[in-house]
Structure 1
Amino acid sequence: MAEFDLDRLEQQVEHLLRQLERLRDENASLRASQEHLVAERAELIEKTELARSKVEAMVSRLKSMEEQL
């Protein structure tokens, strides 16, 4: 009976170790994905700000041209 319990405990520990390794791999993958998405978001924010600045400059030029007419 005690040997059966030890075998079962050993199987459970092995299962937990495999699960731990799988979760570590998944966590590393998720962290890498998050880093990529954060960098992509920052790049998109920068592009949006640049586009906004260009549009505001064009609107200002158009207003100034309109005033000259």
Structure 2
Amino acid sequence: MVKGKNVQHWVNGVKVLEYTRGSDEFMAGIAKSKFSKVEPVFGTVEKGRIQLQDHHGPVAFKNLKIRVI
């Protein structure tokens, strides 16, 4: 869920992650990540495509729903 620059990640009704885009902590995390080399604007764009990823194992996505709350 995104409200302005505040972001919350929920999985099956449980909040698993919360951060503020553009914060010092957020930008430091991106700088240390693999995404800093692949996508220079990663995490800073407010509108655009949604990125789905795996972590080097089998993955499946089904019935994804994106809606305005």
Task: Normalising by structure 1, report the TM-score.
Answer: 0.16
Higher CA-based Rg: 1
Task: Normalising by structure 2, report the TM-score.
Answer: 0.16
Greater share of helix:
1
Greater share of strand:
2
Higher relative contact order (CA 8 A, sep 6+): 2
